[in-house]
Structure 1
Amino acid sequence: MKKYQIFIDGQAGTTGLQIRQRLANHPQIEVVTIDHDKRRDVDAKLALMRSVDVTVLCLPDDAAKETAAQAREVGCRVLDASSAHRTASDWVFGMAELAKGQREAIANARAVSNPGCYATGAIVLLRPLIEAGLLGADRELCINAVSGYTGGGTKMVERYEGEGAPAYAAYGLGFDHKHIPEIQHWSGLNARPIFQPAVGNFDQGMLVMIPLQGSNGAELHKALAAYYQGEQFVQVQPYNEIAADTAPFITPHGLNGSNRAELQVFGAGSGQQALLVAKLDNLGKGASGAAVQNLNIMLGLEEGLCTQIA
């Protein structure tokens, strides 16, 4: 059985650590590391990238751009978990469920950009409905979301694992969150959406919610179910027509460690209001699980191998 070698640049961060955790028991992927004292040695890093099958970037955007250019220089394939290349025309977007032919594009790509967590939830909800003509590309949307604090990077993790962290906090109030271009581009929206993220006092889990006026929930659900029929990691839950006394209680929990996204559609009895909801693990399908899924596809392996944490 062939073994492939992977170098993770930035493996000490949350995403890198979870990729390593998933790959620890992978039967065909071996993670190689660079000596600690040579992490900033460009020649040593170039030599390592030249020797491996794929370099995975878990770095800040500027560092990811620099290292991606180095990897390309030495002919190494790249999977970038940063937001640096998610709308770049010469990179393949690493969401296998996006559209027909996307898996093949990932499999053949030299450079793949791993999707963002919030963006994953929004795109898997919106793309099928825009393609089906049930949502206009010019429609002005408001996207609301809440994530576990691990989605906010090292500083937010330190704050929430200390004392006095708030139970809930809205952020990104400047209408310029870095996921907005990615959401707009890959959903097929012409109009820039308003995106309002928030963080809760829990480590992992995410809800992305999109309320819609003048939309029939049953029609939206039918389109989503057809689009993702047979998909392993994006699953559409049964339709929920809501009456005042039957409204459910939704939490972001239940998918931690998995690479799954669960989609739900809630519709009012009038047929004129709907709520789209995506639930996922911000570090699973929103980051590390998706990265391992993409690695498997890039290397021609079974797509689901080690994509979740047992």
Structure 2
Amino acid sequence: MVHTVFIDGEAGTTGLQIRERLAGRRDLDLVSIAPEKRKDAGARADLLNAVDAVILCLPDDAAKEAVSLVSNPAVRIIDASTAHRTAPGWVYGFAELADEQRAAIAGTTRLSNPGCYPTGMLGLVRPLVDAGILPADTPLSVNAVSGYSGGGKAMIAEFEDETSPSFTPVAFRIYAMGLEHKHVAEMQQHGRLARRPIFAPSVGRYAQGMIVEVPLHLDLLPGAPTLAHLHEALADHYAGERFVEVASPEEAAALKTLDPEGLNDTNRLRLFVFGSDRGRQARLVALLDNLGKGASGAAVQNLNLMLGLDETAGL
């Protein structure tokens, strides 16, 4: 059986990457809307309701509008925006998050694709919360750096287009200093946290790739966990997973640095436990491609699950 798929917003950064990953597959038929009809609500509604699956690569308000146009209950929607990541009735599309997540993804018609930063943070934190190692009210900070492609066309112009009025020559900058970034609610809800984490994102002068870090004071956690306890909990949670892996303690101890571009163009998420048992401190670190497992790769993985196809197809 061939399934029809419409990428609404296929000209954007995420949409282009999704289309590239789906191109050439014999089990999918990618359909598009004529350029002159993209703003025709009637034409868009007809197409949205005629396909098996829709992937929304749109700003939040446009994504909500697109969802409102879908009246066919059989149409599966994957929303890559932030509009529905904490919304009731929407399944969160991080297949490896919990034991029941894959079944929930496969059985839904309304799925919200995770954010790139939350994917790294939740990949590190949620297993430790579920294992009882990390209490839900633990004060957490999330420090992260991403390539500029995560900011869309405007940020890409700031770093690449020297003719743009917003062009900036800086190599690195922080942002969201008011601590009200929209990823925070997503991190708290899906991390099962009782306390809002402090989220400190930054962007560097490179196109794609991401490092997300959660530091911990081990002496503030119950049960006096060691680095080995943290590693064991993560390794147990992700045992057998194809796209999420936990570096061995030996590998982590041997590393002197970590390249944020190390998993570019993949759907992989790699987790590390660094730190000092003597100093009773840990650095939990996630490495991923913000356009891969952090966006388009995750969307394709979720599409495969929702359509009952091989989860790894196209990845």
Q: Residue in 2 aligned with 1:67?
A: 66
Q: Distance in 2 between matches of 1:247 and 1:204?
A: 22
| Distance (whole Å) between structure 1 residues aligned to residue 311 and residue 251 of structure 2 | 34
Q: Which amino acid aligns with 2:154?
A: K
1:30 deviation in Å? Answer: 1.7
Written as runs of structure 1 = structure 2, the 5 A alignment for 1:115-194 is: 115-163=114-162, 164-194=168-198
Larger deviation: 44-53 or 204-213? 44-53
Identity %: 53
Q: Please say if residues 128 and 233 of structure 2, whose CA atoms lie closer than 8 Å, have aligned partners that are also in contact.
A: yes
Residues 277-305 of structure 1 deviation map (CA, whole Å, 9 limit, x = unaligned): 00000000000000000000000000011
Q: Does 1:108 find its partner at 2:112?
A: no
From the superposition, tell whether residues 38 and 270 of structure 1 become closer, same or farther in structure 2 (CA, over 3 Å): same
Calculate the TM-score normalised by the size of structure 2.
0.93
Query: How far apart are the structure 2 equivalents of 1:241 and 1:31?
Result: 42
Q: CA offsets per residue over residues 175-225 of structure 1, 9 Å max, x none?
A: 011111001110111100100000011001000001111252111001000
Does 2:262 correspond to 1:259? no
Structure-2 residue corresponding to 1:17: 16
Name segments (4+ residues, structure 1) moved above 3 Å.
240-243
Structure 1 position 237 matched with structure 2 position 247: yes
Q: After TM superposition, list the pairs within 5 Å mapping 1:193-232 onto structure 2.
A: 193-214=197-218, 216-232=226-242
CA contact (8 A) 1:172 1:197 kept: yes
* Structure 1 counterpart of 2:287: 279
**SS at structure 1 position matched to 2:176:** coil
SS at match of 2:49: helix
Aligned residue pair count: 303
CA distance in 1 between partners of 2:177 and 2:250 (Å):
31
State whether structure 2 residue 248 is matched by structure 1 residue 249.
no
TM-aligned CA deviation for residue 242 of structure 1:
8.0
Distance 1:142 1:18 in 2: 30
Q: Structure 1, residues 1-28: CA drift from partner, whole Å, max 9, x if none?
A: x111101111111000000010012221
Read off the aligned partner of 1:90 and give its amino acid letter: G
Letter in 2 for 1:44: A
| SS of equivalent to 2:273 | strand
Taking only aligned residues, the RMSD between alpha carbons, in angstroms, comes to 1.4
Letter in 2 for 1:263: L
The verdict on how the C-alpha distance between 1:274 and 1:70 changes in structure 2, with shifts beyond 3 A counting, is same
Contact 2:120 2:288 in 1 (8 A): yes
- Given that 1:241 and 1:269 are in contact with CA atoms closer than 8 Å, whether structure 2 keeps it comes out as no
- Alpha carbons 2:227, 2:277 under 8 Å: kept: no
1:82-119 C-alpha deviation (Å, 9 max, x unpaired): 00000111001011101112111111101000000000
Per-residue CA shift, 1:232-259, capped at 9, x if unaligned? Answer: 111001115988xx66111202211100
Gap regions ≥5 residues in structure 1: none
